[in-house]
Amino acid sequence: MPAVHSRHAKYKRILLKLSGEALMGEENFGIDPKVLNRLALEIGQLVGIGVQVGIVIGGGNLFRGATLSAAGLDRVTGDHMGMLATVMNSLALRDALERSNIATRIMSAIPMSGVVDHYDRRNAIRYLSQGDVVIFSAGTGNPFFTTDSAACLRGIEIDADVVLKATKVDGVYTADPMKDPSAKRYLRLSYDEVLEKQLGVMDLTAICLTRDHKMPVRVFNMNRPGALVNLLVGGDEGTLICDEVTGDQYAE
């Protein structure tokens, strides 16, 4: 099959990070099928304009190692449960994408023969080049990491143009906007500023990795309908974290 090239989009290949919590919708736990269907619609629009889409999905709607550990479980066991949760979310997302006729592959950092493919970088790039969506599941495969780090790692490995971190706030703020309503949103900022100011929107391991490999990261609000497509066609959604910062630093 010929390689798919985007004629209309700002990026040819993206790595989209979806938090597990994004799948909960209005619920407190689990997966809301309505959210899956909306995500499939938005991802389908990207595929429709020729964007190659890699996805890393979190597991925080089901299990997080740190929370389980605080409740008394062994931390590594908890992290294994968290990584398996990302596989369940990936299966649910693939189901929704395939119901929308979007060819989708799941690869897992932890071998799971008969359920999903094992992660293989060269195969992943081949699938992406032929226009399939590839979901990278089970995080990095190692405890003590997060799916944000997995997203940055896979983004760098597949040579994505950008890591898009979908979240529930409008971008990166001077302080956590959930706690400080007077916090201002950055339009753009450097990796070093995120590290120096310890802006908590992404873990520091992930930021260090993107800084070292000059991988741009855009943090945006996935709950805003159309935000994903808008930023793919050049809209200034959310906050761009990159090497060189020019122009206005804060949103109005």
Ligand X SMILES: O=c1ccn([C@@H]2O[C@H](COP(=O)(O)OP(=O)(O)O)[C@@H](O)[C@H]2O)c(=O)[nH]1
C-beta of 179: minimal distance to ligand ADP in Å? 7
156 by DSSP, 3-state: which? helix
C-beta of 84: minimal distance to ligand X in Å? 8
Q: Does 90 bind ligand X (CB under 6 A)?
A: no
Q: Determine the size of the site formed for ligand X (CB under 6 A).
A: 24
Q: Does 169 bind ligand ADP (CB under 6 A)?
A: yes
- Answer for which of 54, 82, 155, 177 binds ligand X (CB under 6 A) is 82
Say if residue 142 carries a ligand binding annotation: yes
Say if residue 147 carries a ligand binding annotation: yes
Q: Does 60 bind ligand ADP (CB under 6 A)?
A: yes
80 by DSSP, 3-state: which? helix
Whole-angstrom distance, CA of residue 189 vs CA of residue 151: 19
Q: Does 201 bind ligand ADP (CB under 6 A)?
A: yes
Give which of ligand ADP, ligand X, none residue 94 binds (C-beta under 5 to 8 Å, depending on kind).
Answer: none
C-beta of 87: minimal distance to ligand X in Å? 10
Whole-angstrom distance, CA of residue 248 vs CA of residue 252: 9
Nearer to ligand X, 6 or 59 (CB): 59
Q: Determine the size of the site formed for ligand ADP (CB under 6 A).
A: 15
DSSP state of 202: S
Strand partners, 18: 57, 166
Three-state SS for 12-54 is: CEEEEEECHHHHHCCCCCCCCHHHHHHHHHHHHHHHHCCCEEE
Alpha-carbon torsion (88, 92, 98, 102), positive or negative: negative
SS3 content of the chain, % helix, strand, coil (to 5): 35, 20, 45
Say if residue 145 carries a ligand binding annotation: yes
Region of 185 please: left (phi>0), alpha (psi -120 to 50) or beta.
beta
Say if residue 126 carries a ligand binding annotation: no
Nearer to ligand ADP, 21 or 157 (CB): 21
Q: Does 216 bind ligand X (CB under 6 A)?
A: no
Q: Does 168 bind ligand ADP (CB under 6 A)?
A: yes
CA 174-225-52 angle, 5° bins: 90
Nearer to ligand X, 21 or 193 (CB): 21
Q: What is the per-residue binding string for ligand X in 56-75, x denoting contact by CB under 6 A? A: --xxx---xxx---------
Q: Which of 223, 83, 117, 216 is nearest to 166 (CA)?
A: 223
Give which of ligand X, ligand ADP, none residue 65 binds (C-beta under 5 to 8 Å, depending on kind).
Answer: ligand X
Say if residue 17 carries a ligand binding annotation: yes
Positions touching ligand X (CB under 6 A) are 19-21, 58-60, 64-66, 78-79, 82-83, 85-86, 139-140, 142-143, 145-148, 150
